[in-house]
Structure 1
Amino acid sequence: MADEATPEVLKPIRVEWIAAAFGLLNGIMMVYVPYEFGTSIFRLIYPYIRLLGLAFMLGSATLLAALLYPTWRSWVGGLGRLVFIGALLLYWWGATILSGGITGAVIYPLMIGVMVLESLPRWRHRGLFAEFLAVTALAFGGFILVDPTLLGPSLWEPYREVARPLGVLFLGVGALLALALVRRSRTWARRAVGLMILIFGQLALVTGWRATWTGLALYSVITLGCGLLLYARRVETSTVGWRLFRGVALASVLPILAVGGMASAVAQRAIERELRDKARQAVAAEVAWLEQTATMARFLVLSQSRDPLLRAVLRGGDRQALRARLDLLRLDPSPFEASWVLDGQGQSLLNATEGGVPGDFSHRDYFRHGQDEGQVYLSRPFLSARQRPLVAFSAPVPLEEGRHDIMVAGMSLSRLSRAPTRASRDYHVEIFDRRDGMLLRESERGRMLTRAPILALVEATTLSDPEGFIETSDPDGGRLLVAHAQVPDTPWTVVVTAPLSQAFAPVTRLSALVVLIALGAGAIALWLSRWVGRDVTRRLQALRDGIAALGSLSLEQRVPAQGDDELAEVTLGFNEMAARIEHTQKELREAISSRDQFLSMASHELRTPLTPLKATIELMQRQALLPQGVSAEKQRSTLERLRRQVDRLTRLIGDMLDVSRMQSGRFALRPEPMDLGALAQEVVDRIAHARSERTAPISLELPEAPLRGTWDEQRLDQLLTNLVENAVRYSPPDTPIQVRLVPEADGVLLEVEDQGIGVPAEGLAHLFEPFFRAQNASEHHAGGLGLGLAICQEIVERHGGRIQARSEGPGKGTRFSVFLPRDTPPAPV
């Protein structure tokens, strides 16, 4: 394999990308459909599921922003990482460790560990996703082989028959990838990752089929990451296209998801309130109907037990008359199906007992508890001798001193079950006896005399309050809203349950629609950004080629200007600049030629007086050697020639100095009376208008009276423009810039103050030197060559003023103070 080794085995993908994508998807589901997390494994975190989802979304979004903008301050990524890891730890402990699933128990701590490792300086620029995959596969395989049930409740059932082969497959693929990474074999590493795409892909399908949404998000993102390891191309992050792409990615998707999440939460709250109201109304209707039925039954039994005619019949033993009296209890609209009389020992009379079967019924609770005079006892539900489900109302019939019989009327539970429910068809209604939990009525299945199904989901003590609401989960993991109330003066409890998934189906559809819209809008925006980015990149590359051509001798190449936007204007400006440079170079060549000509002429002119001057001096030397000397007249003539040549030489030198002064006199002032406040207003308005799309707000403070003085208006315009644009260049867009003009006794004080990047203390002393730039200004990438402040200083000093800068340090802004006397001193000669 050594011949296959390459410096880069697989694409260096950071686990933070995978973690951020998983956290964003998981947070979206927790915020949008929190009721889907109502199963037993989420029982500890379900009350806080929406807050946990919000933490996942915020942490993941911040982490993605830090990954897309690596030049941002490090605390941004640190904050996103901290929030995401905190949410993941809570989820790991509450929904993974306590549920017994080893897959999540392994992968989440491993993800956190690798994220922390990638944040260290040594590993900051290296992606560890391939290593993460290898360790995950090895851990999965080892634990599954030791105990296949450690797959967890969502994966154990579908993988029961193939759990151990799955563990062997994980171990083999993990070992293959680890060995390929160690041996740096690109071919075998790619094969191992391709197998992992199949393994994690089918895990995603199974968890989706089992409605395990967190597992679906996790394994889908891992599968996508494996695909990126194989097929992703390295992205050049320094291009304009990439910067446009990442900006659109954040600005198009995240706001839609955030707004959709808030709308979904509001809609869910509204539906919860509506669901509770409807459930309360359903329970109240059922309770009112049952209370009315029980009240009527009590009244009938009590009135019959107190009827003197019935007492007379029982005393006389007239069985025919007794049967006729008992039949009265079963006439409509009576709720009773059967009626009978027991004597004081619980023996049936007239063979008209529970369905006409004689016998001893002293063991029935309606006999044992139905002997209180003036009271009607409601029995537990039971099967009659004819296997009919009944509840009995019983009351004593006093006959004589110390003797009484028991009047009993049986209410048919079958008839009660056939009665139409007062609740919506979307609700499930149960009525049970609190004393033994026996079911009296169930709206859907029609079951009776079994233990109430709700008691398998909720503790009986939870339903002991007179009324209330609770949430629970059904055996399939669906979330239920349970409304319950007790029927007054009875041992009965009415329970109405409603599945939240059914009630929240409109919100689920709305949430899915919002997510699809967000993803669709994001995809369209990203495609448009790529299209715009390619157009901008192509035009910038043409501009770059044109700039490169400036270094050649030929400047005839021009950049084609496309469109009518700012970039086209820059291109036109570049072409104009290239034309001016070409023209300037032509003028420079002509100036060099003129300079050479001037130097030749100057040399000739300087040589012209020097030649006779030298000859005259030599003549005077020879004359001085003559024995007879030289006449005074000839000496005066010789000295006069010397003086004329010296004057001529002085004039030539003076002319050259004048030419040099003219060439270096570009800052010569033309002071005139003017209003400095009006000029400041004009400059601020011009800059604010020219940079309105990206500049910080600029405020101008002027005195009420005009600030008149004698200054060079053009040079002060240049001064103000340099200072204000310098503040704009080094200030964030949302921080203000203040420009103040304060009149003083002998001049005017001009201050320009910003809240920008500031100036280090060591840079203040050199700030006005040509070509000097502070270190943080160089890192700011704001452009410029460092000549602006040097020009400002030249202008101020020529006006007889002074300029200085103050800053408390980097990030704390800068203030420039300029003092100008009202009258400009005359320019030095």
Structure 2
Amino acid sequence: MIRPASSLFTRILCWFFLNLILVGAALGTFIFFQPQLDLHAFFGMQRWNRLRVAAALMVHDLYNAPRKEWSAILARHARVNQVDFVLVFGDGTRFSSRPVELPDTVRVRVEHAFKGPFSDRRPAPPPPARNPVLPGSGPDQDILSPSGEQPPGLGEGLEGLDLIPGRPVLRMHTSDPDLYWTGIMLPPPPKPRDFPTPFVLMVVSDSASGNGFFFDARPWVLVAAVVLLISVLFWIPMVRNITRPLSRMTRATEEIASGRFDVVLDEPRRDEIGRLARAINHMTTRLAAFVTGQKRFLGDISHELGSPLARIQFGLGVLDQRLDGANRQRLQNVMDDVAHLSQLVGELLAFSRADLSAQSVALEPVDLLWVVREAVRREKAPDSEVIIDVDPDLRVLASPDLLTRALANLVRNGVKYAGKAGPIHIVAHKDKGWVNLEVKDSGPGVPEEYLDQLFEPFFRPEPSRNRSLGGVGLGLSIVKTCVESCKGRVFARNQKPHGFVVTIILGRC
């Protein structure tokens, strides 16, 4: 049986996920070694946009409230955004949503921002068509440059952007404690009131994502999950479309290997799998014709040889009464050879008949104890002991003739090879919807390497094929043919410390 971890379905899915990982790794490596790709700028757009919107809302609230309420206003916005806000003016005045100490590195960056060329720039009065910075006001340049002009950059990279009002002045991480800082410089409103100088609004968080304020990973994770789900939903039917027919073909070939040639694969496909199914069907048809023809040939030959052999035996018997001395001994040797040949022909005929009759066998409920007793009556020798342990009420679905023939062969083998070693036990017990019938002896058993070949036609464990050691190797083949004709199974094993067991499994009525 194929383990799930080694199945074709699992391997294809593993390769699919590995392919996704490799594509992701290749994309990450490409981005990492491309300095012109500014990932901070790409992922930071959301951060700066949210900070500008939050700044517009806070400036509006602060503009309409006295300074003593500014910390409370910042605290209210901090609760809404789940971050802390710090407001720093050029004269050193500072307001915050909660007490926060500015690390030296942060304070130096803020002071450096106030020393820029636009730090003392007072905004010109706004044009009539433009509004002051209020929630829901015009584009961002109302905050970045109230005059409507974009100040020129002072250099490349973050250092050049630090000195432009309305643009980020810092983005850093400090330790002890771990905090993430982001700040922008904003010019005072058109009517300064309590905003005499430009100011820096900073956002502080103990999370790199700012609890979703700096960067919200949930949309990206959701998109990745949706892409992965769609890919899996697309791949699974395709993989199933490949593995399911292969599984059916595997089961079919296993049945063909066990001797069932009536298996037909219905795979109306035009791809390679369909061609394979048609090839298996063609192979099954050819094998069935070959095996059936071979067994018919054996049966016909056996039947044709039966009559001449019977006449030869009759003639030799008559001749035996007229000879004496050395000639009689020579005749006896010839008679033994003819008897052995007659036995071989008889077993060949029984084997071919058993297999051919299996194609049209009619199964019926059978009294198992009656079949066992009939088989023992046929084959039990006077000096052997057979112990039967079968429930009288036990019934199986089988053909009485074929099942009796199979048991008779097993009893005959037990008597021949182990009749003097101890009693032969015939035991039957129920196993769910089946009946296990075991024929046990106390003989030496069979070498383990031969167990799988015992039911093959003409197989004998003795390489010499000595006539005195056994028959022609068709007895167990007949047993297998008869049992499988009854929709059952048969297998053999050795038992410890000695003995040989043949188990027949049949459907229970």
**Could you say which TM-score interval applies, normalised by the shorter chain?**
0.3 to 0.5
TM-score (norm. length: structure 1)? 0.22
Bigger share in helix: 1
